[in-house]
Amino acid sequence: MTEPLPRAPSPSRRDFFKKVGAGAAVAATAGCQQALEEFMKKSLREMSRPEVKALLERLEKEYGEKFGREVSVHATPPREGVLFGYGLDLSRCNGNRKCVTACVKENNQSRPNPDGDHNNPIQWIRVLEMEKDKGISFEHADPYYNPKEVPEEGKFYVPVQCQQCENPPCVKVCPVGATWAERDGIVVIDYNWCIGCRCCMSACPYGARHFNWSDPYLPADELNPNTHVLGNRPRPRGVVEKCTFCIQRTRAGRYPACLEACPTGARKFGNLLDPKSEIRRLLEEKRVFVLKEELNTKPKFFYFYG
């Protein structure tokens, strides 16, 4: 496979160095000032509230110019007493991939662009087709199935997305601390801090992380303008992204987009700390399992047979 080498994530930072080297920093132009701001910025986790606010304003302005329409970027914090959990009923899922399409739409992933210079479609949910004879076996899984109609005879389907582990290997390996688990259990990425080394992608046992090899292709009319700074805001080239349980929706109290799109009702979501929530009833009443339990990642994504 001939892949282009990962590029530096922030060209403006490199620009800044160039300018310093050329002694151009003395000229306090507007562009230089912005580059300075970018260079001096901190990780989101170290920012104070006013700094976060300034960042959101800067991002909103940047996206507004880029897409020619109003984009709101929120930084809704985790709610007290909330820990998100997800359930998926494997006996209901028929592999129709409606969740995948809804996720791409909601979360501003890069769309297919077969005629353009760059074609880097990203899907956060991957539906694996497996054989009933072999059970859950990743060696015999096919994510590229494309028959006329699903479900196919003798096959079953396992949608896999970020499992929001309690013990996330991806977080451990990140050399710059650009990814972490929030208090409500969502593992997030600071796209401005990610250096694109892709260590987290090789560490993730679920293949849940995806890399922007080239500039994401996102037509302005397909943009979802309701975004979260750690979630579905438009990403630059050279950063890793993944499912965030639709952080922009779930922190506002709504169900994730994949759940609402599922025509078979296979997807369940709720607060693990609320004994009356759907996800808790599920854990109490159904036999649930997690993928690759032996790796001790402690996923908060539970599969069951309803």
Partner 1 sequence: MLRWLPLAILLLLAACGKNEHAPFDDPLHAHGIRLPPVEPGLPPLAEASKPQVFPVPPPPFSPGIYPCSRCHVGGAPTADTRPAMPHKKHLDRDLLCEDCHGQDPKVPAAKVCFDCHEDLAKEPEAVRAYFAAVKQPDGTYEFPRRFRTKDVKPNHPGHGKAGVACAACHGEATDAPFEKPKAVAWMAQCVACHTDRKQAVTCETCHEEIREPMHRSVVLHHGEGRHCFDCHNEADRDDLRLASGEKVSFDQSYRLCGQCHGEKYRDWKEGLHGKRTGMWDGEKTYLLCVHCHRNPHAPHFPPMAPEPPPARPEDIR
Q: What CA–CA distance (Å, rounded) separates 139 from 128?
A: 11
Q: What CA–CA distance (Å, rounded) separates 280 from 232?
A: 27
In the complex, least distance from residue 205 CB atom to partner 1, rounded to whole angstroms? 18
Kindly tell me which of 19 and 126 has the beta carbon lying closer to partner 1: 126
230-259 residues near partner 1, rule: CB under 8 A? 230, 250, 253-255, 259
Residues ≥6 apart with Cβ < 8 Å to 283: 85, 87, 272, 302
Q: Are strands 301-304 and 288-289 parallel, antiparallel or unpaired?
A: antiparallel
Among 233, 300, 301, 303, binds partner 1 (CB under 8 A): 300
Kindly tell me which of 44 and 223 has the beta carbon lying closer to partner 1: 44
In the complex, least distance from residue 143 CB atom to partner 1, rounded to whole angstroms? 6
305 counts as binding partner 1 under rule CB under 8 A:
no
Backbone Cα Rg of the chain: 20
144 counts as binding partner 1 under rule CB under 8 A:
yes
Q: Which residue, 130, 158, 151, 164, is CA-closest to 279?
A: 164
183-202 residues near partner 1, rule: CB under 8 A? 183-185, 188
Token code pair at residue 207: 């293949």
227 counts as binding partner 1 under rule CB under 8 A:
no
Q: Which amino acid is at 13?
A: R
Kindly tell me which of 3 and 294 has the beta carbon lying closer to partner 1: 3
Taking residue 185's Cβ as centre, other Cβ atoms within 10 Å add up to: 20
In the complex, least distance from residue 138 CB atom to partner 1, rounded to whole angstroms? 16
φ/ψ region of 31 (left if φ > 0, alpha if ψ in -120 to 50, else beta) reads: alpha
Kindly tell me which of 14 and 254 has the beta carbon lying closer to partner 1: 254
272 counts as binding partner 1 under rule CB under 8 A:
yes
At 281 the three-state DSSP class reads: helix
Kindly tell me which of 16 and 206 has the beta carbon lying closer to partner 1: 206
86-125 residues near partner 1, rule: CB under 8 A? 89, 94-98, 100-101, 112, 114, 117-121, 123
Piece of 28-36, 132-140, 198-206, 266-274 that binds partner 1 (CB under 8 A): 266-274
36-75 residues near partner 1, rule: CB under 8 A? 44-45, 47-49, 52, 75
Binding mask 7-36 for partner 1 (x = CB under 8 A): ------------------------------
Q: What CA–CA distance (Å, rounded) separates 191 from 223?
A: 18
Q: Which residue, 268, 250, 262, 258, is CA-closest to 89?
A: 268
Kindly tell me which of 64 and 121 has the beta carbon lying closer to partner 1: 121
166 counts as binding partner 1 under rule CB under 8 A:
yes
Site size for partner 1, by CB under 8 A? 85
In the complex, least distance from residue 209 CB atom to partner 1, rounded to whole angstroms? 14
Residues ≥6 apart with Cβ < 8 Å to 178: 43, 189, 190, 193, 194, 195
At 175 the three-state DSSP class reads: coil
